[in-house]
Amino acid sequence: MNKKTLDRFQAILLEQRRRLLQSSEKSKEEDLQLSVDDLPDEIDHASAEINQSVIFRLRDRERVLLQKIEHALKKIENGDFGVCEECGDEISAKRLEARPVTTLCIKCKETQEIKEKIYA
C-alpha cells in the first residue's frame, strides 16, 4: 500500500476516533441529567432502566470500536495496515474503504463468521 493511501486511511481513522470521543463526552453530559431517584412511578423507572442499558451497551461498542481504531492506527505506523492478520494476504481496498478498522480479508472473515455460527 502506498504512502498516499495510508495517509488517507490514517486521516479517516483519526477522524473516526475524534468523533467517537466527542460523542462519548456528550453522553457523559446526558448521564448527569438522568437521575433515577427523581422519577415518579414504576413505569418511568422501568423505561429509565432500558435507556441506561442502551447507553451502557453503546458505550461498550464504542469502547470496542475505539480499540479497533487504535489498533488500525498502530498498524499504519508499523507498516502492516491492510494485511490480513489471519492469512497474510492483502485486504481489498474496497473492503478497507468500507471498514478501515478491519483486520481480516473477506475470505478469513467469512470463515470466522461460519465458525461463530457453529460455536455460538
- When asked if residue 1 is in the footprint of Zn ion (CB under 5 A), the reply is no
- When asked if residue 80 is in the footprint of Zn ion (CB under 5 A), the reply is no
Number of chain positions touching Zn ion (CB under 5 A):
6
- What are the phi and psi torsion angles at 94 (to 5°)? -60, -45
- When asked if residue 114 is in the footprint of Zn ion (CB under 5 A), the reply is no
CB of 84 to Zn ion, least distance (A): 3
Binding mask 33-72 for Zn ion (x = CB under 5 A): ----------------------------------------
54-92 CB burial, b ≥16 within 10 A, e <16: eeeeeeeeeeeebebbeebbebbeeeebbbbeeeeeebe
